[in-house]
Structure 1
Amino acid sequence: MIPIKKIIFTCVCITFGSHLLWSQSIADLVMSPESKGDKYFNQFAYKKAITSYEESLRSQKSDSMRGIISLKIAQSYNQLNQPEQASKWYAQAKETQVSVAAESLLNYAQSLAATGKYAQASHIFKELTEDEGVSASIKAISSEQINAIEEQNRFFINAGRVVIDKAAFNSKYSDFAPLLYDSLILFVSAREHKTFISGLFNWDESNYLDIFSYNPQNGEVKNFSKNLNTSLHEGPLTSYNNNKDIIFTRNTEARVNENTGDNSITKLQLYHAAYEDGKWSKGEPLNFNDPNFSFAHPSISSDGNTLYFASDIPGGMGGADLYKVQKDGDGQWGKPINLGAAVNTAGDEFFPTIHGERLYFASNGHGGLGGLDLFGYDLSKEGKVVNLGSPINSSLDDFGITFYEDGRSGYFSSNREESAFKDEIYQFKSDMDLMPEYQLILLVSDKLSQEIIKEAKVYLLSSQNDTITQLDYENGQYVSTQIEPNTNYKIITTSKEYFSAENDFTSLETAVDAPNTWKKSLSLVKDYDFGMTAFVFENNSQKKLDSVQVKLINNLGDEVPFKVYTDENGRFSYTFSENKLNDRVSYQIKLEKKGFLSKSMTYNKKLDKPGINSLNAMLDFGLNKIELGEDIGKLLGVEPIYFDLGKAIIRKDAAKELDKIVAAMKENPAMVIELGSHTDARGGDAFNLQLSDKRAKASAAYIVSKGIEERRIIGKGYGETQLMNECEDGVNCSEEAHQLNRRTEFKIISL
């Protein structure tokens, strides 16, 4: 097949002359197979290069050399646009650990995508985006393709509404770039025909390209014009002035290849021909052509004054870009203008087609299904490039589209698998616009009264690119036409006297209310100023505490706990956005601040009138400051813990006090406590120490039994070793004095 993606801007001519062929054959006898393959590769004779490289591979012993030759075979197949073979040989090259340049890795990933191996392709595309040494253009192409692979479903959303079939006039050779011309279909083909000089195109040993016509009335295919078709490449083309004028592509005469010294490199140029006296003129080059660069794939506006084409002239966005040029008052063409970043990418853009106000073109730089995909762009407004989707696009090359007047039927070119990977022409018919305008219609109403809210502001936020657009209000509805299929959005709605709302929306929902239209109803809750406020302070100093975390848990709902923080004045506020008049609310309020003892409380209220309720009058928002070594029992007001004489069993009155410690430890999950039990000096030292230790450990075990981790509570008896006064052995003290020493302490040892 003609590898359209590869030969767009570099053509190779056959050099005729027996003396040159003879001298080359003598030189070939002494060249190694690899060198001979390199020579053919540099001459763009890729089929011959593969044959020589495969011969060389059979004699290679080392993995590194096998990897180098495999990479050269892969690059040759890539130039021939045979992705299945290319990806196979790229994989073999990588297995040998040979160094593969970023451009070759990009070709490898693209060949995988072209054969439908999207997961493997995505992995390589991601490697390229993460490699700091890779050029910005390769990163950009890889990034676009990653996005396309991740969101591939959007290319199939309308697949069932387009029918395609192979055109009746395809041949066993490459046929592509159809153009509707009066009652005929013109197209470009490599099929055999009689020319003044016959020969094969060196690139893939196919015939040279010429322009042919097909007559649907009688099925006849013939040479379009002997004056236009020469021994060089001709086509694609465009027509205007009631089809009396055409502009077509033709390659220039050969010039020297700097790599090989051969007289073999040519460029593509644009020519004008007119139909006069029953025949076509031979064609004259357009005035802006430059023999150092290629100008190809013309398409002209209906008035014949604006010409669109592809070119590789310097200053573009990437490889080949699309340009336009205006005709001046003297009938000459002006200076080409790049169509800009909205259309052109770091990759290649080819085969423009103008239909009304729309530009259709092929690209491998915009995200697609693989290879060249067909895209549309509305020139009348600053919109986005639209992928035409399946089945017009496939994982291989799809390009060169032409339309009937309805804009929903016509022909295009593809080398998809059904074509045995050669370029063929397909006809298509769609029951919808190929560039459909999708819209979202929203109804915004009061949640209670169901009345339409006319003064809301509704914004659409795309998760793909964070673009925010405001919806227009039209006859009770909010409408957006800036919506795309297979996309996640957030809808943000605000209105005076209502709480703002945020809703998720996905344009892949199957229940589409009308062609290309989604409808959604939203309701807003009126702001009755229901809420609560309080200030938090330190108990000892009464100082207001800022940055206290206030966790609010709705006891009547299943919402995720909501967190707010006190401001510099120690105040926090919270509004009940989902409640209406006479609702009852119940919230657990938990206060947390580092260095302070956390606490919880419950707030219950019937919302019998609008307003913000201050909670300080009904609940205690004071926090106790805590330090390491401090007795938390004093902060909590824990009463003395008593045991029966000589025993270490937890009594009911003791359990009640220990439960206060349990509650505090649950409120402060990072806190670790030492529970210390002390006795007075009466009794033997050893007995007191043993008894206090049993009582401390029994108290600690009780706390653990209530759900506190064992590591967080340490029970230790001190006996009479840490008396609080002078009541030692032999000292006569009152019962009150001895009582001071019979104590239990809960010291904080870790926060």
Structure 2
Amino acid sequence: MILRNKLTILVLLICTNTLLAQENKVEKANKDFENYSFSPAIDIFKKVADEGYKSVELYQRMADANYFKGDLTLALPWYEKLYNSDKNMAPEYYFRYAHALKASGDIVEARKVMEEFVRTKPTDNRSLILISNQNYLNKIEKNSNRYTISLLRENTTESDYGVAFYKDKVVFASARDTGVVSRSIHKWDNEPFTDLYIASLKVDGQFTVTKKFSKAINTKFHESTPAFSPDGRTVYFTRNNYIGNKRKRDVEGLTRLKIYRATLNNDNEWGEIFEMPFNSDAYSCAHPTLNSRGDKMYFASDMPGTIGASDIFEVAIRHDGSVGIPKNLGREINTEGRETFPFISENNILYFSSDGLPGLGGLDVFAAKIDSDSTFSFVENVGRPINSPMDDFNYIININSKLGYFSSNRIGGKGGDDIYTLQELAPLSTVETTAIVIIVKDIDSDQVIANAVVSLKDLENIEIKSSSTDTDGSAKFKEIPLKQYFAKVNKEGYGTNEKIVNAFAKEQIVYLEKDVYKASLGEDLGRILKLSPILFDTNKWDIRGDAGFEIAKVIAAMTVHPKLKIAIRSHTDNRGSSELNMNLSEKRAQSTMTFMVSKGIAQERLTAKGYGETEPIRPCAEGTCTDEELQKNRRSEFIIVE
């Protein structure tokens, strides 16, 4: 990973102490794989992990918790552990593992894992997109060959990137004479530094007369990606959290990125440097761009509310210099991956880079037309030669001359990141419409469900169309723009389900699950936490390793909820005498309680009782049950009593 990656990812290493600030993401993660009724899953499983327990489920939960926070680099080792431990890994984990690998730069292995995802879950929306590669590749091919590009001669062996237009010149970022070679380092305070440079332009777009931009703006830390107001007297730029000769860090000791503003004084010197009010020491904001009127800024951030590793936000810039509240552009633009380096052309097209949308590899450049109501008419991959198997980003263009620039770390450059000129030869293709079919099924029986109401909404949650399913369980939608939607499905007796659907996958299934009642007194905590049964070996009552892991989850839940009281109920199979089984189950119940007390749970919050063979899960006449069925009867349960 090179310099540009460090400035693009916008901090994946989010401290668990900031977890409550990321509560929406954690809740989304929990909703995707389980609906916990207690404290967010991350709190419980973090406590379990700290105790040193190991299991497939622990790897799943820790990986998912970090994945849905957007900490893909933190998720990767847990997915690796899961991949190496579980040969029957659920399809969803192949998909998430592939994304984590892609974020780490291991594109080849990511593609292999994604193929396993398609193989194991061929009807999933994402699989349908990948299976329909012919159409997807044709779309990219249709948009390809609309540019000529050329490697900028001004590039150095260091990183050069982040070009912005400034009057009749350009300003860009470079590490050329900072004395630090671009390198892959995981700590923010050890990154290579860049400064801003200004250059005049030749007719062909090549740079000339290059010099440092401003002594007042350049510091010993990072400066990059400037954006200028229409009158050229205000500049917004990215810098490390450093101002007034003071460097600030977050609770992890990391120096984040912030957006700063400077103004040009009467002596044509840049001064009055202030940080934007939406910045924070706890997250990064970077890569600003302004619309043609200068009244709206777009930027990338991993602030709370971000969908993926980094999202694109917009914020109003008022005439008096004050700013509004940043707004996430939503799922029409942002994904669970990285969206970054936005640019707004004068004809109101948003160009940005993403590794979450289908592309040619790494970060690809995409274009989205911003309509008058701030929605997006289309999101298109701009195609080759702008995009490549490597990272391509920081696209800008002058709509009059059709001349612009982009940055890439592709093979054939001079350094890590290099600047390329571009000349647009033809505009993007127009938006298309299509028809899709949503099929609704019962998740347990796989039977189709008639008379279910399907609402098709855009990614801002505005309803586009609504329909009811026919006797074959299908709801049909015609002449809709070719993009992503939410399909929200309701049916009496079932829980509501909402799923992102892609209009270029013609037929998609949404599953409904029957309503389940909420937890109450007498409920088994194991059902609420979806525990695996607490199992015991034959004629034994000591706590096995897998049992210890399950009990640790109950302990974590009781630690989070100090008023919770539990009745431990232990059971045996029917082998042996009833008297011996009752005695054995009592020992198992007491052993479980002793274990929990040893881990810090007050004994007055627990009761323990053995039930012998009197309440089997699987009633077994002598010799009629398998060893596996018998083991299911040898269990402990945790009943809520208060």
TM-score, structure 1 normalization:
0.43
Structure having greater relative contact order (Cα 8 Å, sep ≥ 6): 2
